[in-house]
């Protein structure tokens, strides 16, 4: 975040107290904070009782092997039973679970009974393909109901899923399949995007051709486009549709792995974040109920995330379904076929709770108020934000134009690693300030600390740490315990280092300031600078590359790259496009640099470390900071001149 933005935040003092009507009916009251402060573990014990357990636990938390936690030790449960069977058994089989809004505008309601039957069929089909508890299954799918079915079918048979965002490239998919040694990949022939059919299976074919662990590829027919077929491929409609709609679930240990989800770290190699069953589901369900104030009888909930990200796991699949929500899932993009698409969906399905990202909100602001104003949004009663800091201006726009000044906004801070919401206002309970995630929710403890690990005074800034274990915490990095300890637990021993900068205001509210490590946050997607640098350097014309995240009005941060070409390569007209396309192939279109600048030298310290801070200054048009530590202080002038020239061309 730029200095200027930080300055502005320091002057933000608007406060919105809870609305009395909302408060009167809110799921939670302030007593939850007291209860949790009095006995944190007992508080989580109570929350775990929202779930159905086949066997109750005998110890709430085992922290003796910290930072490797065990929650609800000895307990047994099945996540898919908690999301489906128990609601059907309780008489809610006819309640709509999913309202699927296709890209085309067609929509379809799927009841809890139908979803359960589909999940049972898929679970039977997976077992028939030889998938057993503990086997890893990669899922590379568009936002269609089968994606939810696939995840829950894996959960039902205890096979941890690894969902890979369908916008990632074949290469990114391959490295994730390999790292987890996935035995099966579930995908679709293609996906609909802006009215057209885009292929998906070719990327899987390419990834799998080099992935030895994969025995089968299970393919949903979505677009009907031609696909290549090999003997390891199986059609979903052949093996799932014909399978029995009944399946006897097995109860798994509370610490049985539920899923792996890869996220970018500060090196080029993504980290497989591991989540287990009982603690994860407890916190996903509790937070979805408490922070979104979900009323299963009357609410229509819509989270606009993709299942490829953690938000899709916790707040489309596990949290909402455990709470018997009725929710919209949407296949397409916000601007197809028109820029009012989201608001049309809110009106059509009478959405009451909307959870989206600041980057989307800023885009809607830019598109103009006429789009939301063309639709009836009066069913909305609560708005949520996640993924990156929301600037006060976007927060106020969200509140007034989308929420008609009536809806509480929950700015929820959390991470793939935390599994569920950690810091957020509670609607009807606490006040909110535009741009602040406010305080840790009941049962969670966080601090803002200085370089030495001392808690800062109100008004001070530093690093966000979590000083107590929590139920949905990551249990490790798949196959790399050492990296888990190094990345999260060594900067401030005994405490979890989130990688985010934060400020504590005079009232003790927390303001997130963005990442402090070499991870960028582009439209809410985490991408490491090293990953993009490696992608650029893997191009035959590039000798060296440095990548920084520069503040961007719409996407939060934009990727700016500086490259040095190989001796024999000359800069030509098509080069920048070629390099951008290359990054898309290596990682995915989300990682395409916003700008690529060809330079003769990069700023380096005498020990050879690239000084990204200086490159960020240049990319954000700021006057340069201290350059005296550079091996060659004139380098920056050359780069800045090059940039100025590029701008005037």
- 306 near ligand WTA, judged by CB under 6 A: no
Quick one: residue 541, left, alpha or beta (phi over 0 = left, psi -120 to 50 = alpha)?
alpha
Alpha helices by DSSP H, listed for 504-589, are 529-537, 575-586
3-state SS, residue 96: strand
CA dist 10 and 1 (Å) reads: 13
- 491 near ligand WTA, judged by CB under 6 A: no
Look at the chain and count its residues: 649
Please confirm whether the linkage preceding 155 is cis (ω < 30° from 0): no
Please name the residues in contact with 62: beta carbons below 8 A apart, sequence gap of 6 or more: 69, 70, 71, 73
CA dist 447 and 162 (Å) reads: 31
Smallest gap from Cβ 465 to ligand WTA, in A, equals: 12
Smallest gap from Cβ 401 to ligand WTA, in A, equals: 20
- 389 near ligand WTA, judged by CB under 6 A: yes
**CB nearer ligand WTA, residue 111 or residue 415:** 415
CB 164 within 8 A of CB 308: yes
Smallest gap from Cβ 500 to ligand WTA, in A, equals: 5
Region near ligand WTA per CB under 6 A, out of 304-312, 323-331, 401-409, 565-573: 304-312
Region near ligand WTA per CB under 6 A, out of 207-215, 275-283, 384-392, 560-568: 384-392
Please name the residues in contact with 297: beta carbons below 8 A apart, sequence gap of 6 or more: none
The contact pattern for ligand WTA, residues 392-411, with x = CB under 6 A and - = no contact, is -------------------x
Q: What are phi and psi of 374, to 5 degrees?
A: -80, -5
Smallest gap from Cβ 487 to ligand WTA, in A, equals: 12
CB 159 within 8 A of CB 134: yes
Region near ligand WTA per CB under 6 A, out of 62-70, 76-84, 286-294, 303-311: 303-311
- 356 near ligand WTA, judged by CB under 6 A: no
Closest to 265 in 3D by CA, of 483, 547, 2: 483
- 512 near ligand WTA, judged by CB under 6 A: yes
Smallest gap from Cβ 530 to ligand WTA, in A, equals: 17
**CB nearer ligand WTA, residue 189 or residue 500:** 500
**CB nearer ligand WTA, residue 311 or residue 534:** 311
3-state SS, residue 80: helix
Q: Site for ligand WTA (CB under 6 A): which residue of 387, 471, 558, 593?
A: 387
**CB nearer ligand WTA, residue 6 or residue 181:** 6
Q: Site for ligand WTA (CB under 6 A): which residue of 243, 386, 510, 599?
A: 386
CA dist 582 and 588 (Å) reads: 9
- 171 near ligand WTA, judged by CB under 6 A: no
Smallest gap from Cβ 161 to ligand WTA, in A, equals: 17
- 263 near ligand WTA, judged by CB under 6 A: yes
Label residue 540 exposed, middle or buried (CB < 10 Å: 0-12, 13-18, 19+). Answer: exposed
**CB nearer ligand WTA, residue 189 or residue 388:** 388
How many CB atoms are closer than 10 A to CB 626? 10
Smallest gap from Cβ 511 to ligand WTA, in A, equals: 9
Beta strand spans in 232-314 (E): 233-235, 252-253, 257-263, 271-276, 301-303
Smallest gap from Cβ 464 to ligand WTA, in A, equals: 8
Quick one: residue 613, left, alpha or beta (phi over 0 = left, psi -120 to 50 = alpha)?
alpha
CA 348-102-284 angle, to 5 degrees, is 80
Please name the residues in contact with 519: beta carbons below 8 A apart, sequence gap of 6 or more: 264, 265, 266, 499, 526, 527, 528, 529
Please name the residues in contact with 462: beta carbons below 8 A apart, sequence gap of 6 or more: 448, 449, 450, 451, 456, 501, 502, 503
The contact pattern for ligand WTA, residues 311-330, with x = CB under 6 A and - = no contact, is x-------------------
Q: Site for ligand WTA (CB under 6 A): which residue of 233, 347, 500, 518?
A: 500
Three-state secondary structure along 375-406? CCCCCCCEEEEECCCCCHHHHHHHHHHHCCCC
Smallest gap from Cβ 267 to ligand WTA, in A, equals: 16
CA dist 629 and 599 (Å) reads: 20
Q: Site for ligand WTA (CB under 6 A): which residue of 340, 499, 558, 593?
A: 499
**CB nearer ligand WTA, residue 439 or residue 582:** 439
Smallest gap from Cβ 265 to ligand WTA, in A, equals: 11
Q: Site for ligand WTA (CB under 6 A): which residue of 51, 310, 325, 353?
A: 310
CA dist 466 and 476 (Å) reads: 16
- 521 near ligand WTA, judged by CB under 6 A: yes
**CB nearer ligand WTA, residue 525 or residue 580:** 525
**CB nearer ligand WTA, residue 388 or residue 617:** 388
Q: Site for ligand WTA (CB under 6 A): which residue of 103, 117, 331, 388?
A: 388
Closest to 180 in 3D by CA, of 524, 607, 479: 479
Closest to 36 in 3D by CA, of 25, 49, 47: 47
The contact pattern for ligand WTA, residues 414-443, with x = CB under 6 A and - = no contact, is xxx--------------------x------
Region near ligand WTA per CB under 6 A, out of 16-24, 235-243, 281-289, 381-389: 381-389
**CB nearer ligand WTA, residue 340 or residue 499:** 499
Q: What is the sign, positive or negative, of the torsion defined by CA atoms of 96, 97, 102, 103? A: positive
**CB nearer ligand WTA, residue 416 or residue 534:** 416
Q: Report 40-99 residues binding ligand WTA (CB under 6 A).
A: none
Region near ligand WTA per CB under 6 A, out of 44-52, 101-109, 199-207, 386-394: 386-394
**CB nearer ligand WTA, residue 220 or residue 260:** 260
Smallest gap from Cβ 418 to ligand WTA, in A, equals: 8
Smallest gap from Cβ 357 to ligand WTA, in A, equals: 9
**CB nearer ligand WTA, residue 93 or residue 501:** 501
Closest to 87 in 3D by CA, of 242, 280, 285: 285
- 412 near ligand WTA, judged by CB under 6 A: yes
Region near ligand WTA per CB under 6 A, out of 324-332, 383-391, 439-447, 481-489: 383-391
Task: DSSP letter for 237, please.
Answer: H
CB 448 within 8 A of CB 480: no
Task: DSSP letter for 314, please.
Answer: I
Smallest gap from Cβ 329 to ligand WTA, in A, equals: 18
Contacting positions for ligand WTA (CB under 6 A): 263, 309-311, 386-389, 411-416, 437, 498-500, 512, 514-515, 521, 526
């Amino acid at each position: 975040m730029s200095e200027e933005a930080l300055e502005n935040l320091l002057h933000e003092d608007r406060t919105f107290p809870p609305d009395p009507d909302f408060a009167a009916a809110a799921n939670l009251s302030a007593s939850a904070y007291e209860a949790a402060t009095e006995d944190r573990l007992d508080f989580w014990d109570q929350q775990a009782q929202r779930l159905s357990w086949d066997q109750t636990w005998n110890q709430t938390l085992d922290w003796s092997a910290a930072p490797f936690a065990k929650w609800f030790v000895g307990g047994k449960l099945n996540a898919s039973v908690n999301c489906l069977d128990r609601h059907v058994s309780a008489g809610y089989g006819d309640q709509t679970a999913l309202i699927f809004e296709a890209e085309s505008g067609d929509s379809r309601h799927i009841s809890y009974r139908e979803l359960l039957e589909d999940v049972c069929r898929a679970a039977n089909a997976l077992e028939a393909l030889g998938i057993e508890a503990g086997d890893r299954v990669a899922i590379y799918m568009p936002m269609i109901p089968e994606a939810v079915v696939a995840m829950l079918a894996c959960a039902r048979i205890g096979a941890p899923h690894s969902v890979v965002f369908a916008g990632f490239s074949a290469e990114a998919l391959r490295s994730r399949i390999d790292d987890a040694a996935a035995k099966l990949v579930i995908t679709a022939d293609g996906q609909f995007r802006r009215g057209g059919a885009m292929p998906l299976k070719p990327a899987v074919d390419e990834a799998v051709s080099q992935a030895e662990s994969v025995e089968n590829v299970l393919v949903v027919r979505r677009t009907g486009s031609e696909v290549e077929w090999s003997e390891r491929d199986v059609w979903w409609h052949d093996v799932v549709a014909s399978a029995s709609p009944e399946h006897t679930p097995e109860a798994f240990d509370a610490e049985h792995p539920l899923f792996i989800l890869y996220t970018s770290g500060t090196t080029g190699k993504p980290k497989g974040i591991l989540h287990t069953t009982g603690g994860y589901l407890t916190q996903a369900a509790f937070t979805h109920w408490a922070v979104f104030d979900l009323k299963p009888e009357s609410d229509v909930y819509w989270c606009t995330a993709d299942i490829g990200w953690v938000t899709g796991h916790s707040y489309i699949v596990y949290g909402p379904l455990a709470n018997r929500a009725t929710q919209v899932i949407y296949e397409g993009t916000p601007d197809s076929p028109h820029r009012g698409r989201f608001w049309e969906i809110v009106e059509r399905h009478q959405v009451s709770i909307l959870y989206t990202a600041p980057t989307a909100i800023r885009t809607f602001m830019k598109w103009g108020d006429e789009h939301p104003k063309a639709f009836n949004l009066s069913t909305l009663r609560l708005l949520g934000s996640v993924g990156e800091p929301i600037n006060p201006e976007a927060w106020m726009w969200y509140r007034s134009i989308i929420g008609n000044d009536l809806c509480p906004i929950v700015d929820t801070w959390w991470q793939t690693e935390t599994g569920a919401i950690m810091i957020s206002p509670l609607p009807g309970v606490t006040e909110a300030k535009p741009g602040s995630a406010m305080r840790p929710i009941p049962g969670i403890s966080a601090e803002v600390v200085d370089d030495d690990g001392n808690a800062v005074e109100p008004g001070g800034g530093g690093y966000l740490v979590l000083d107590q274990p929590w139920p949905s915490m990551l249990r490790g990095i798949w196959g790399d315990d050492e990296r888990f300890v190094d990345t999260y637990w060594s900067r401030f021993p005994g405490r979890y280092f989130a990688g985010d900068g934060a400020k504590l205001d005079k009232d003790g509210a927390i303001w997130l300031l963005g990442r402090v490590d070499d991870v960028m946050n582009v439209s809410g997607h985490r991408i490491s600078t090293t990953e993009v640098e490696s992608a650029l350097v893997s191009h035959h014309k590039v000798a060296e590359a440095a990548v920084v995240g520069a503040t961007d009005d719409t996407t939060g941060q934009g990727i700016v790259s500086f490259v040095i070409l190989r001796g024999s390569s000359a800069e030509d007209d098509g080069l920048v496009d070629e390099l951008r396309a290359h990054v898309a192939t290596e990682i995915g279109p989300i990682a395409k640099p916003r700008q690529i600048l060809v330079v003769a030298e990069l700023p380096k310290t005498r020990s050879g470390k690239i000084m990204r801070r200086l490159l960020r200054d240049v990319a954000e048009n700021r006057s340069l900071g201290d350059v005296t530590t550079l091996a060659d202080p004139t380098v920056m002038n050359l780069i800045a001149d090059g940039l100025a020239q590029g701008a005037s061309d």
